[in-house]
Protein backbone atom coordinates (compact mmCIF):
# COMPACT_ATOMS: atom_id res chain seq x y z
CA UNK A 1 0.00 0.00 0.00
CA UNK A 2 1.23 3.47 -0.86
CA UNK A 3 0.32 6.36 1.45
CA UNK A 4 -1.03 9.55 -0.14
CA UNK A 5 1.07 12.67 0.23
CA UNK A 6 -2.01 14.91 0.30
CA UNK A 7 -5.10 14.38 2.49
CA UNK A 8 -7.85 16.95 3.02
CA UNK A 9 -11.22 16.49 4.70
CA UNK A 10 -14.25 18.56 5.57
CA UNK A 11 -16.98 17.69 8.05
CA UNK A 12 -19.01 20.82 7.26
CA UNK A 13 -22.57 20.27 6.00
CA UNK A 14 -22.63 20.92 2.23
CA UNK A 15 -25.10 20.92 -0.61
CA UNK A 16 -24.26 18.84 -3.68
CA UNK A 17 -23.06 21.98 -5.47
CA UNK A 18 -20.86 23.01 -2.53
CA UNK A 19 -19.45 19.48 -2.32
CA UNK A 20 -18.58 19.53 -6.04
CA UNK A 21 -16.85 22.90 -5.64
CA UNK A 22 -14.95 21.63 -2.58
CA UNK A 23 -13.67 18.65 -4.58
CA UNK A 24 -12.65 20.91 -7.51
CA UNK A 25 -10.76 23.29 -5.20
CA UNK A 26 -9.06 20.44 -3.34
CA UNK A 27 -8.04 18.76 -6.60
CA UNK A 28 -6.59 22.01 -7.93
CA UNK A 29 -4.55 22.40 -4.73
CA UNK A 30 -3.37 18.77 -4.87
CA UNK A 31 -2.32 19.11 -8.52
CA UNK A 32 -0.43 22.31 -7.70
CA UNK A 33 1.50 20.25 -5.15
CA UNK A 34 2.30 17.48 -7.63
CA UNK A 35 -0.63 15.06 -7.50
CA UNK A 36 -0.97 12.63 -10.40
CA UNK A 37 -3.80 10.50 -8.99
CA UNK A 38 -6.57 11.30 -6.51
CA UNK A 39 -9.45 9.57 -4.82
CA UNK A 40 -12.55 11.31 -3.54
CA UNK A 41 -14.75 9.84 -0.81
CA UNK A 42 -18.03 10.76 0.83
CA UNK A 43 -18.62 9.21 4.25
CA UNK A 44 -21.72 7.01 3.98
CA UNK A 45 -23.07 7.93 7.42
CA UNK A 46 -21.99 11.52 8.06
CA UNK A 47 -21.58 12.96 4.56
CA UNK A 48 -18.02 14.15 5.22
CA UNK A 49 -15.88 14.68 2.14
CA UNK A 50 -12.30 13.49 1.71
CA UNK A 51 -9.64 13.76 -0.97
CA UNK A 52 -6.46 11.71 -0.95
CA UNK A 53 -3.80 12.30 -3.60
CA UNK A 54 -0.66 10.49 -4.69
CA UNK A 55 2.35 11.72 -6.62
CA UNK A 56 2.40 8.52 -8.68
CA UNK A 57 0.07 7.56 -11.52
CA UNK A 58 -1.40 4.30 -10.19
CA UNK A 59 -0.96 3.49 -6.49
CA UNK A 60 -2.91 0.27 -7.05
CA UNK A 61 0.12 -1.04 -8.96
CA UNK A 62 2.34 -0.36 -5.94
CA UNK A 63 0.22 -2.12 -3.32
CA UNK A 64 -3.05 -0.24 -3.57
CA UNK A 65 -4.70 2.81 -2.10
CA UNK A 66 -5.95 1.19 1.11
CA UNK A 67 -9.10 2.30 2.90
CA UNK A 68 -10.10 5.98 3.05
CA UNK A 69 -8.05 7.82 5.68
CA UNK A 70 -10.72 9.74 7.61
CA UNK A 71 -9.06 12.36 9.79
CA UNK A 72 -12.07 13.29 11.93
CA UNK A 73 -13.68 10.71 14.19
CA UNK A 74 -17.41 10.11 14.35
CA UNK A 75 -19.26 12.04 17.07
Report yes or no on whether pTM surpasses 0.85.
Answer: no
The reported pLDDT for the residue numbered 40 is 95
The reported pLDDT for the residue numbered 1 is 73
Closest CA to 6 of 24, 31, 43, 25: 31
Query: Is the separation of the CB atoms in 74 and 46 below 8 Å?
Result: yes
Query: Is the separation of the CB atoms in 35 and 53 below 8 Å?
Result: yes
- Per the domain annotation, does 1 fall within a domain? no
- Per the domain annotation, does 56 fall within a domain? yes
Burial 48-61 (b: 16+ CB within 10 A, else e): bbbbbbbeeeebee
- Per the domain annotation, does 68 fall within a domain? no
- Per the domain annotation, does 50 fall within a domain? yes
How many CB atoms within 10 Å of residue 26? 23
- Counted domains in the chain: 1
The reported pLDDT for the residue numbered 36 is 93
Range of the domain at 14: 6-62
Q: Walk along the chain (75 residues) and give the pLDDT tens digit of each residue.
A: 788 999 999 999 999 999 999 999 999 999 999 999 999 999 999 999 999 999 977 766 656 787 888 877 655
- Per the domain annotation, does 67 fall within a domain? no
The reported pLDDT for the residue numbered 2 is 80
- Per the domain annotation, does 30 fall within a domain? yes
Amino acid sequence: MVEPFYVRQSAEPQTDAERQQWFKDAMREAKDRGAKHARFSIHPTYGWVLIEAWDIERPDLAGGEGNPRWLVSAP
